[in-house]
Structure 1
């Protein structure tokens, strides 16, 4: 008898103090008790996050599947369990109605341009797990550890003929593998012994090939693709290896964006978010920071009217 009266008073309170507005939203979820003595759940709906400035819209629910109707204007809700003898648990956090049960969309952040390496020799790990040294400067200057007025350098490159010079500068302008052997001798004939450097030179950026899953239809020099056609990017680098593929866009003539990393979902996202004209610039970089000249793709959408 006490239970029936309390229930009647609860519904009377809702009816006379807070008129029931038009139901505009519905959330479906399940309430699974983590204890056997939990009988019900209390749900409070709030218009704002300021709990001190309003009276909530209250609902009672039994454990199991819930169809929670959200009155118009209510943007938040929270839940607490009610156990035997009316023992109440703690309130949950205040959930937002519009985002409840949805995975938050990751906010893509612009990527910082890869800086060019400044060390003379930079180790780069290969696919096999080995480490190879890459020269980051086109010119190498040899400085004797003991500075003297007169010294000479005996050297050879890639097992070539031995040569002698008084100039400490060596140029490596072409990509490839090098073995530099040299010995510095002062005017007294004292040498610090033979030194050996083995390294590679890579000043060539990656090359990206752009294609589509289905070949475009050509008409009057213009390529046409369907909205469902996918784009394929293939970037290769014969030197230090591919670092990343970046892209930036301009939609409907707006200023071009920052660079972002290209991934599997990029094409669908940028295509669906641009209603009319789309300019895409694609550029790959290798692991030394060599950057490809951007390739441009211009797409204009046509209606079927």
Structure 2
């Protein structure tokens, strides 16, 4: 297949640190343009808006939307109406309903829409899914804790409606769990800690259960300081305890390391996107996002001290 001419829309930290290197390392793409209000990239065409890029820029085949979720839907609709394939950073939108609109747009315009979940492409996630498929699961515990000042510096949008607060990283854990567990599950309780000057939670404690009454507990916290982030998932089974550490890059069984690999999540995303385009298909799974929406709807809100950057 021909090299895909790609544009990045929204050149912030995640685009700079993850998307751009993954694109450069994949021969199936050529980064052709960037649309960003606050940044530019050498050796490609730069524009302040997606509208300007589509009207004045070079020919492109696809766009990767790395903007905040609140503006992403309008940009995705514009790009697809112009015949461009679209990859959405997570979460795929600000609401579940708007994603259905995007799904219909992709079908109508005959383009690929990819709602990406980068943590599903962590090195050991597929191995964990296969190991769990033949075992009886008894309990799941999720620990997802990091320092918001390190991982989202100066990103005030994360505390506004649609920004999701601690669910922005927490949804990564949910994207893994929905991938590796053999059965769907649903929320039964959510306790949300919301700073007095914010609209979204800084920490959350969640309880779920699946169709066989297996308990699933998650602790998300944006206040982890002084230590590396904790991105772990533990699954108790009838044949031992499986643990995914470091966001899915390390797999342990009963504390013994069985597998580990490099951070290549975004490389996996872009390979998947190119394959979907080649096959003329879309992938718009919203199951992790649905769990977040349920938590925000069902959750008990507890006001905690104001957040100061």
> If the TM-score is normalised by the length of the shorter chain, which range does it land in?
under 0.3
Q: Which has the higher strand share?
A: 1
TM-score by length of 1: 0.20
The structure whose RCO (Cα within 8 Å, separation 6+) is larger is: 2
Point out the structure with max Rg over C-alpha. 1
